Structure 1
Amino acid sequence: MTSQEHVVLLDGEGNSIGTAPKSTVHGADTPLHLAFSSYVFDHRGRVLLSRRAGSKLTWPDAWTNSCCGHPLPGESLSSAVIRRLGFELGLAVESVDLILPGFSYRAVMDNGTVENELCPVYRAVVTEEAAPNAEEVGEVRWEPWTSFAAEVMSGELDISPWARKQVPQLVALGPDPLAWPVADAAALPPAARPLASNH
């Protein structure tokens, strides 16, 4: 399945400049491309953390936020969040909200593999337990947001490089993740804006 998936390539301003097979994108000279990160919460404000499967090309076995992924060409980011949460974690989503529309990062693994993404961050709320897909997720755990965030901010928790950069921005929005303000879709990268309202 993954060999047939394409990702959206971007210029420095976040405009689409074409697509490429997902299987060929990540390497020592990974081009900037469109992605998303999602943080799944229950109604108690607990966040669902996931440990990436050991077979993952980038950051295998790393603990991270709930789910990351790439929208397919022509797919809205919110639809991609819903699709990947179902595929990776077996979750039906109650709500999905855009929180950090302009987040981007570049990170390099010890083996030289680069991740280079414009990666808007979404909050998803669920009422059920996850059923992880073993090809994607090694294990999951629920943790109170405040204690998770404190562990990341202190450096105590070994977490993926994107989550390490996202958490301080999320903490700045307030202590209750269910009360974070929803961002304006107009602030998304241009390649994602026309798709923001598509479901």
Structure 2
Amino acid sequence: MNDHVVLVNENDVEIGLMPKLEAHQKGVLHRAFSIFIFNTNGEMLLQQRAYGKYHSEGLWSNTCCSHPYPDEATSDAATRRLKEEMGIDAGLNFLYSFRYEAGLDNGLTEHELDHVFWGITDVVPVINPDEVLSYKYISEENLRADMKENPAKYTEWFKICLSEVLDRIRI
């Protein structure tokens, strides 16, 4: 069942399960999370999604994002996945949740109730090459400038939530 996502209503109440790919093909609302890690200099850790991912391959995004397993707390899933993708075990803080819908490549649709977490660490990532092609730390100023100049280099959900995240977090 680890290839399934948790379907939810707009109040984040679980209403069923669906295979992950099918949920993205049909654009069905499901639970997700996004993690934003900063270093003590206030720079954000970005990941470049690995080639071979079923959508948004090669694009830059927040530190980590995924879906909780059925019967897994979202905060536990965030901690687990950050370790699996980036090799980082950092204290995560819940920030807020938001719902969005966005068309992706390959005719897929993200329709997620996304729970946003953040943390601060100077631990050097040890990336999982099946998930992550590369990573970099970047200042808010340089990130905003690059996203304005090159929006196609970034994932849709990252473009949607970045300003809200940065408005809520001050390192």
Same fold (TM over 0.5): yes
- CA shift digits 1:67-125 (9 cap, x unpaired): 001011222222111100110111121x2111122x12111124311111000111022
Say which SS state the counterpart of residue 27 (structure 2) adopts. Answer: coil
Asked if residue 50 in structure 1 is aligned to residue 47 in structure 2, the reply is yes
Residue 163 (structure 1) shift: 0.7
Give 1:105's aligned amino acid. Y
Return the alpha-carbon distance in structure 2 between the equivalents of residues 145 and 76 of structure 1. 30
CA RMSD of aligned residues (A): 1.8
Give 1:26's aligned amino acid. H
Give 1:36's aligned amino acid. F
Return the alpha-carbon distance in structure 2 between the equivalents of residues 19 and 26 of structure 1. 13
The answer (yes or no) to whether the contact 1:149–1:171 under 8 Å persists in 2 is no
The answer (yes or no) to whether the contact 1:36–1:122 under 8 Å persists in 2 is yes
Asked if residue 74 in structure 1 is aligned to residue 71 in structure 2, the reply is yes
Which is worse superposed, 70-79 or 54-63? 70-79
- CA shift digits 1:126-161 (9 cap, x unpaired): 231001111101110111234323433x34453111
Give 1:42's aligned amino acid. N
Give 1:19's aligned amino acid. L
The answer (yes or no) to whether the contact 2:2–2:69 under 8 Å persists in 1 is no
Runs of 4+ with >6 A deviation: none
Q: How many residues in Structure 1 have an aligned counterpart in Structure 2?
A: 170
Asked if residue 106 in structure 1 is aligned to residue 101 in structure 2, the reply is yes
Return the alpha-carbon distance in structure 2 between the equivalents of residues 83 and 4 of structure 1. 13
The two structures have a TM-score, normalised by structure 1, of 0.78
Return the alpha-carbon distance in structure 2 between the equivalents of residues 57 and 127 of structure 1. 30
Which is worse superposed, 142-151 or 157-166? 142-151
For structure 2, which runs of at least 5 residues remain unmatched after alignment? none
Which residue does 2:122 correspond to in 1? 127
Return the alpha-carbon distance in structure 2 between the equivalents of residues 111 and 156 of structure 1. 20
Return the alpha-carbon distance in structure 1 between the equivalents of residues 122 and 107 of structure 2. 39
For structure 1, which runs of at least 5 residues remain unmatched after alignment? 179-199
**Identity fraction in percent:** 30
Return the alpha-carbon distance in structure 2 between the equivalents of residues 140 and 171 of structure 1. 19
Residue 11 (structure 1) shift: 2.0
Give 1:51's aligned amino acid. Q
Which residue does 1:63 correspond to in 2? 60
Return the alpha-carbon distance in structure 2 between the equivalents of residues 92 and 72 of structure 1. 19
The two structures have a TM-score, normalised by structure 2, of 0.89
Return the alpha-carbon distance in structure 1 between the equivalents of residues 149 and 159 of structure 2. 9
Which residue does 1:97 correspond to in 2? 93
The answer (yes or no) to whether the contact 2:45–2:138 under 8 Å persists in 1 is yes
